[in-house]
Structure 1
């Protein structure tokens, strides 16, 4: 018998075939119950299957969504990008790399050999002994070394000064559009893709450096021709492929997080056991964020191995990588903290023995707090009765407000999540104390948490 089939015709009343029919026999009733149970099982299996697919998609998309959101936020937002790269100006490894690069390129534009040859000719014209004229050519090495040391000292003073921090910040603010060009092929500025390298143009700094050299006594520095002012930032073996991938992530950066969140919410809504599915979602997202952190560590090793020391010293390359991805790492850690808090809250709301013990202890604590208020003459009256009768509603509002705060917070950190969580717990405890102090009812056994049902 199919419980969803039309009601059988009534043979006793042909004029009313859809009317009342004889009651089911015991066998028919048993068959009807069996078919209803089978239909219910099929329905639950369908819900579990759909929820599993949705949850799997949400969990797998979560690290991609975090990376795409980081790219969209950090690369396309000028203030965020400057905030990302600003600490590099204070890093000794980066300062040393910039100093060495600028020194080498300034000295390479000084024709030391021509200077020694001119000195030799001057000595010869002055009737100097032939040995002295011949030995003057040996001054090329020491002279170049002396010039290099002097230029390096001046460059180091410039790079380690507060002026360099300003120049660095302004240069990166100007080149923010060029970073977009590197990753998406749009715009133009000082940062450019040169072969398999991403380079930064420090023309302003180099011009100021020539001025400082002139003021330091190197009068010929003002006559130095245009110096190559490009400083390599990153080196990627397959930059074109990386650009294509990042361009795609940048396009979907706004929508992927929304899609992943919507899939997770839909999976929890479709599943028969919402609380259990919420816990599964928290575990899945937390695990994927840990995988993302491991992936960043592996990518760091691959990146450092791919950068030749002649292009960028290993310590400078490591500092640059760690600085550029630090907000991405922070986002992954933040989501891990959110996942742990969500898992803990979902467990405490369930029927587990540990959850019941915690809820009972919380009820005892808030009840004791309420009785203490009453002894002090502070009674909540009708407000306390209302809070006591609407605990599930007030609890949901407070938790929802905390979740909404984190959702609207601009770049939340693990510390921000911890503070918001602490405020939520404090407010819930305060509401529990107020609900336990109406002043006209006994309090023993009163629970602070809403009743739950097993799943």
Structure 2
């Protein structure tokens, strides 16, 4: 093998100069270059693998952290979570039974029967009748229980109870948030290590109502000490620090996970393949999270004594509290499946090529059909045809942005956005086909638009 020529370094000599090397030197050059390429690709594979592992481990934690943060810090979200419990039949039944037992427990049935026996004795009733009044305790308790149960059930199943349930949960949650965040608004708030109740609003409202009722001198009532310290604890500052940490994790942990996923795909030598692997891994992790929720549900239901809470009520409470977590997990699972499917369809696989060919034929036939009836897109269609990759990227990015800006997206929202993205892509492909030269069969002479 004769000598070879390789170009010199850019800084050396005239641009037309060549350095003559032997075949052995050229082979060594190629071997070293190949080894450098192999080391570079290996480093990228290792880096992408590490990033992928971290991303997959953080994915379920990010979903849980975002859900917990929304439930703890967002009063509207919390009320939306617990609102169905106020109208759930199992929960209503449990509340009715609990309230009925509390009311009946305050009724001294034995004292009533004793009083009845004494009254009958004073009235001259036969001793046998007086002695049998004690046997009335059981039927009397059952009658009281039945009557109280009907009244309580009527109240609990009414719309008034559902409204009171929502209002009570809203007030309680807002008070807790004020304490944990150190907010200065609201009646219950934190000041240092103290939790105080501000009675100013209540006092002002009472004075106003008294004046409206005709007690004009009530406006002169002096304002007492408006703050009452409910409790003081050194643990309050730790709870507030935990709340701040949760707020940070709930917002930034999902962002960090998305950034790591993007870095994983960018670092890998084969971007499409790594996108497919990352999406498939997230699908697996979301399935694991759903399985973990099912296991926790079983453990919770087994741990709740039936004497404390009926099984159907405990089941309703657990399912209601975690339903938004399940929804978020399923939504991310569907998004990951769609991403993996898109990455596969852009690949060289036989099925992927077949799908792309079939869709191209369909949109091309539709575009040519528009041209045959005189609907030509002209230069605009030709521009769309020449910039298909750009327009596709813009449409897909728009769909992703819509999901990011969507407040708590669901599987239905993902399906809606996906349908709109596919519809726009098909429409753009048809318009692009309607603007190109007329080469389809049946178009005379292949006339240009």
TM-score normalized by the length of structure 1: 0.77
Q: 1:383 aligns with which of 380, 383, 395?
A: 380
Q: What is residue 351 of structure 1 aligned with on the other side?
A: 348
CA distance in 2 between counterparts of 1:22 and 1:434 reads 54
What's 2:395 paired with?
398
What is the rounded CA distance, in whole Å, between the counterparts of 2:333 and 2:436 in structure 1?
43
Kept in 2: contact 1:436–1:443 (CA 8 A): no
Give distance in 2, aligned partners of 1:152 and 1:85: 24
Is the Cα–Cα contact under 8 Å of residues 52 and 264 in structure 2 kept in the other structure?
Answer: yes
Partner of 1:447: none
Q: Structure 2 CA distance, aligned partners of 1:245 and 1:313?
A: 33
Deviation (angstroms), 1:337: 1.0
Q: 1:266 aligns with which of 263, 267, 271?
A: 263
Distance 2:36 2:242 in 1: 46
2:296 to 299, 320, 325: 299
* Over 4 Å off, 4+ runs: 178-182, 184-190, 243-251
Q: How far has the Cα of 1:75 moved from its partner?
A: 2.9
Distance (Å, rounded) in 2 between the aligned partners of 1:363 and 1:128: 101
Deviations 1:377-397 (A, max 9, x none): 111111011001101000100
Post-superposition offset of 1:172: 1.6
**Corresponding residue for residue 161 of structure 1:** 158
**C-alpha separation in 2, matches of 1:412 and 1:185:** 27
Q: Secondary structure at the match of 1:345?
A: helix
Q: 2:93 aligns to what?
A: 96
Could you say what secondary structure the match of 2:308 adopts?
coil
Q: Which of 110, 114, 122 is 1:113 aligned to?
A: 110
Q: Aligned-pair RMSD on alpha carbons?
A: 2.8
Q: Which runs of 5+ in 1 are unaligned?
A: 1-6, 11-15, 191-242, 445-455
Give yes or no for the alignment of 1:70 onto 2:67.
yes
Q: Partners of 1:156 and 1:97 in 2: how far apart?
A: 10
Kindly indicate whether the alpha-carbon contact (under 8 Å) linking 1:89 and 1:164 is maintained by their aligned counterparts in 2. yes
C-alpha separation in 1, matches of 2:305 and 2:247: 29
The Cα offsets for residues 86-127 of structure 1, whole Å up to 9 and x where unpaired, read as 111221111110000000001111122222222222223223
Q: For the residues of structure 1 that align with 2:323 and 2:54, how far apart are their CA atoms? A: 26
Q: Displacement of 1:309 after TM fit?
A: 0.9
Q: Match for residue 287 of structure 2? A: 290
Write the distance in 1 (CA, Å) between the matches of 2:329 and 2:265: 22
Query: What secondary structure does 1:127 align onto?
Result: coil
Distance in 1, matches of 2:388 and 2:111, equals 89
1:371-450 equivalences under 5 Å are 371-438=368-435, 440-443=437-440
**Change over 3 Å in CA distance of 1:439–1:185 after alignment to 2:** closer
Deviates further, 135-144 or 429-438: 135-144
Q: 1:285 Cα deviation (Å)?
A: 0.6
Task: Check if 1:45 corresponds to 2:42.
Answer: yes
Give the match's secondary structure for 1:254. Answer: helix
Question: What is the alpha-carbon distance in structure 1 between the residues aligned to residue 181 and residue 136 of structure 2?
Answer: 49
Deviations 1:402-441 (A, max 9, x none): 1111111111111111111111111111111111112644
CA pair 443-178 structure 1, distance change in 2 beyond 3 A: farther
Q: 2:366 aligns with which of 364, 369, 393?
A: 369
CA contact (8 A) 2:376 2:434 kept: yes
Distance in 1 of aligned mates of 2:127 and 2:178: 60
Does the aligned pair in 1 maintain the 2:99–2:152 contact within 8 Å? yes
Q: Does 1:321 align with 2:292?
A: no
Q: Is the 8 A contact 1:175 1:189 kept in 2?
A: no
> Deviations along 1:269-310, whole A, 9 cap, x unmatched?
111111111101110111111111111111110000000111
SS at match of 1:32: helix
TM-score (norm 2): 0.78
Distance 1:307 1:180, change over 3 A: farther
Number of residue-to-residue matches in the alignment: 377
